[in-house]
Amino acid sequence: MVRLRDQVAVVTGASRGIGSRIAVALAREGAAVIAHYSRGAEAAEAVVREITQGGGRAKAVQGDLSNPDEAATMVAAAGTAFGRLDILVNNAGIARDGLILRMRDEDWQAVVATNLNGTFYCIRAALREFIRQRKGRIINIASTAGQAGNVGQANYVAAKAGIIGLTRAVAREVGSRGITVNAVAPGFIAAGMTEGLSAEVTAHYLEQIPLGRPGTADDVAAAVVFLASDEARYMTGQVLNVDGGMVMH
């Protein structure tokens, strides 16, 4: 069963890591995909080729999501390229780690601007279309760090916690319009930001995971596909942890 036939999705930060696998997974289920990227044009085009070679439809679109105008233009590209918008996946994010006493103002501001502000700008732009058609799916990629905290990541944790709060606020605000808004909170995933960690740090995280292994980007993508599908039509304002049990509530 193809769960997203004839739908159109925007995936931010789709050129690498978790975002690239989300884009491919949505396309595999029938969605046409706008694969957003900030700087990795070649990587984004490689994701588009993977989708089109598999029989899907995709287009790479560049944008600085910390700029509200560029975020709106990127979201609007879905309508220009494919005629509509059904699914928004806010995945784009950066990390600039450092202990609080050493954290530079620009590192705090850059992480919040991209991770939290960018998510807000994209949601605001997509809602105009979703409210008009009285249907839409918004899936925000948060993090278990936004629930449990992490040493040396005050900026990243604050932004991801903000995304969780934003998810619930928007879910309450637009639920009556047929729009669902949920978050996926990855734990320790062997992709993207975790690839450069030392063996010692990796071992520390693995000790906290009951399933005893890191997750994969495909594990996260599967949760996103579920939330984008009709199978999740009665779920909104939820945070779905994909973390091997690392953070339990």
Q: What are the catalytic residues?
A: 156
d(CA 70, CA 64): 6
Residues near 202 by beta carbon (within 8 Å), at least 6 away in sequence: 194, 214
DSSP letter at 193?
Answer: G
Residues near 240 by beta carbon (within 8 Å), at least 6 away in sequence: 182, 183, 184, 185, 223, 227
The one-letter amino acid at 12: T
Report the first-to-last Cα separation within the chain, whole angstroms.
33
Helix (H, G, I), strand (E, B) or coil at 190: coil
